[in-house]
Structure 1
């Protein structure tokens, strides 16, 4: 499979400021595969050390901080070759190895000629703990589920992926591309972006194997819940996890603890929810009171929405059968567009440095699905999964904050177009949003100049 993060990894390899790398991402998202593939393509060889399979390797980091001694011990124990600049050293499953993580400081300071990359399944949990950590001595990189563009490449639709990459003006897309892209997007809703289910579908077109793979991934996540250091949190994490389809199916998708369990209170469940956030299994999106910078200063910490890491995981967790694919556009609008909102957020997060927010007011009720920060501007985003694309909330938002809104963005099944300050992006172009915003702003300037 072609993963676009390979370009980022190559930039890391060639950077004069390169430090040891920590690659973060949920279980089964492809961290190990991508590091090995990167090593095969761009290094003479790979030296791979898995601290879950070979726990004895941990002792080499416990007895010394001398990088040369550590490497000598690893070479002798594993019979692998390690050469400066030419070998990619991969330390895998390091989440339970604080000494290994801490050693990155010494690799950075005393042996920068060695290229080291670390990965682990619950690194977000590990890194959130106050422990000895090499602050400023590592580079971080996040690997997310496969984007729709990556899905197209895996599915053999390179022509469609190339077409999307080459769009450089805001104008309607010809039906010859538009209609197949809508069909492929429905496939992506079914499989999601986790590499193994995508592989099961794209290589063998085996729906049963794809379903089983998604179930296995969900099972592995649920087994991880027991790794919370406080065993009393385990059932709470499970209850929150199982409530997510119901939370997202509600008209107002603000997270409600009573949906988790009757009588549940925030203080009883907030630690369990934070564990899921730190594990990156869910995304927490805060309500913003105004589109101003810094965006975090306007967060309402008591109001937030929760989305899953992947739309395919959400579909499987919601027990929606793949046969829904054949029922027109029902897949896009199922349980009040929850799949579509989750897909759009999943597409936006890797493109922007700042986590999106949402905006709402209660009297009268209005809600804008997302606010995204692009450079120093904040743009309201509305997600429309049905034929009706009237945008009362986003119109109200513009009335309330006229000076802050350069462009309004709507995702829908309508074609690509710029109507005044309203940019309509077809859902299948969600992972091109950053680029499309730049194109739309340039077109706006040209239009206003004329």
Structure 2
């Protein structure tokens, strides 16, 4: 069983909740159902689970419910375990197939509050849109992502002591123990191939067979393409969205990594095309990184919603879509290839999983900053990601640091190096992105 941080998030909800149910959403295949089932078995004597895709009869019964009594009766009718007050978790899975059940949660917990309720669903573009705020005060929620790098390290049997060594080195801006640094660097390179999709990680950990890994990853890619066909509003949208999804690897290999709308479909209104890009983001399949006009706090005020880079939700899927030759090159540690897109994709998904909004900055006179993040206490951190040995060449970062009105005091370069701090720039090993949430 893979160790997931989401399990502690679920446990914290149980400890602190009053009348709230919980909604866990996220892209397909990120492990929502498995974690909730483990939570139910660990913290409750009884687990009642209904899956609205696997059990169409239960779906039909729930859809006909007009009151909390009707809904609870439908749940009880299809329950495979006992409903014991105070000892039972009611888990309703794939609720995007029946979003109305979530909007009735207020009445359900008021009428039958002696049970705990967890809902889970795949985002799939529009299925759960708007539900997070309905009804106010009766629904907690969080989004699950693929395994982050620390979770991957735990799956690969990295000790807590080694992880703490990395955390302490980050806090004190000192070098990581050389042996641990090499181990973490090797694992990060491996993570670029495997990614964080639980099925793919599990297959690789058990077999170390790259062909089995690719079968799992390709299955997920194919599932995403089928979801687009099934859940997009119409055939034209489905074709355009699939086109965007398939183009992500090619676009990320370009120097500016930005899409041109004419490459997707000609003669389409800009607003229509934006909706198609956002469909992938809403489905959790892709991660948009938005341009800001200025890298100043708060970044949201200068965000340009029509200018963005698009990464996949999992770097392993990106590597799979790039083909077997890229995997062979990574395994052979080829140094003459630009892996920048893979590194940046891994950084984007790590930042997103840790709660950061994703922005970048580009200006003709200054250049481009790969990522710009902000912390709640009001300061900005520009980040450059370097996959090669020339990581101390970063003219855009240097110019941004010396642009007075930006108010940026320190910059970060994530690279193939152990920790080095020179003036107002921290050169950190690329795997230390997992520690940014702790600062």
State the TM-score, normalized to the length of structure 1: 0.89
Structure 2 distance, partners of 1:272, 1:36, is 33
User: What per-residue deviation string (whole Å, max 9, x for no partner) do you get for residues 340-368 of structure 1?
Assistant: 0000111111223x412111112x35001
How far off is 1:131 after superposition? 12
1:189 alignment counterpart: 192
1:229 alignment counterpart: 233
1:326 alignment counterpart: 331
How many residue pairs are counted as aligned between the two chains?
432
Structure 2 distance, partners of 1:418, 1:4, is 31
Structure 2 distance, partners of 1:223, 1:403, is 45
Aligned pairs for 1:66-145 within 5 A: 66-122=67-123, 125-128=126-129, 133-145=134-146
Aligned pairs for 1:194-273 within 5 A: 194-226=197-229, 227-261=231-265, 266-273=270-277
Structure 1 distance, partners of 2:132, 2:330, is 47
Structure 1 distance, partners of 2:427, 2:407, is 19
Structure 2 distance, partners of 1:265, 1:53, is 38
Structure 1 distance, partners of 2:32, 2:25, is 8
Larger deviation: 341-350 or 259-268? 259-268
Larger deviation: 62-71 or 152-161? 62-71
How far off is 1:31 after superposition? 0.6
| Residue 176, structure 1, aligned to residue 179, structure 2 | yes
Larger deviation: 24-33 or 98-107? 98-107
Structure 2 distance, partners of 1:185, 1:423, is 19
1:387 alignment counterpart: 389
2:165 alignment counterpart: 163
Structure 2 distance, partners of 1:421, 1:220, is 45
1:444 alignment counterpart: none
Structure 2 distance, partners of 1:230, 1:132, is 27
RMSD of the TM alignment (CA)? 2.3
Contact 2:103 2:131 in 1 (8 A): no
Structure 2 distance, partners of 1:140, 1:34, is 15
1:445 alignment counterpart: none
- Which ranges of structure 2 fall in alignment gaps of 5 or more residues? none
Contact 2:176 2:418 in 1 (8 A): yes
Structure 1 distance, partners of 2:243, 2:176, is 44
Structure 2 distance, partners of 1:184, 1:295, is 33
Contact 2:50 2:78 in 1 (8 A): no
Structure 2 distance, partners of 1:365, 1:404, is 15
Q: 1:68 to 1:265 in 2, by over 3 A?
A: closer
> Secondary structure of the equivalent of 2:362?
strand
User: What per-residue deviation string (whole Å, max 9, x for no partner) do you get for residues 144-198 of structure 1?
Assistant: 1101111111112225434334544210112211112111111111110000111
Structure 1 distance, partners of 2:203, 2:57, is 35
1:287 alignment counterpart: 291
| Residue 149, structure 1, aligned to residue 154, structure 2 | no
User: What per-residue deviation string (whole Å, max 9, x for no partner) do you get for residues 128-151 of structure 1?
Assistant: 269994344311111111011111
Contact 1:247 1:259 in 2 (8 A): no
Larger deviation: 186-195 or 374-383? 374-383
Larger deviation: 398-407 or 34-43? 398-407
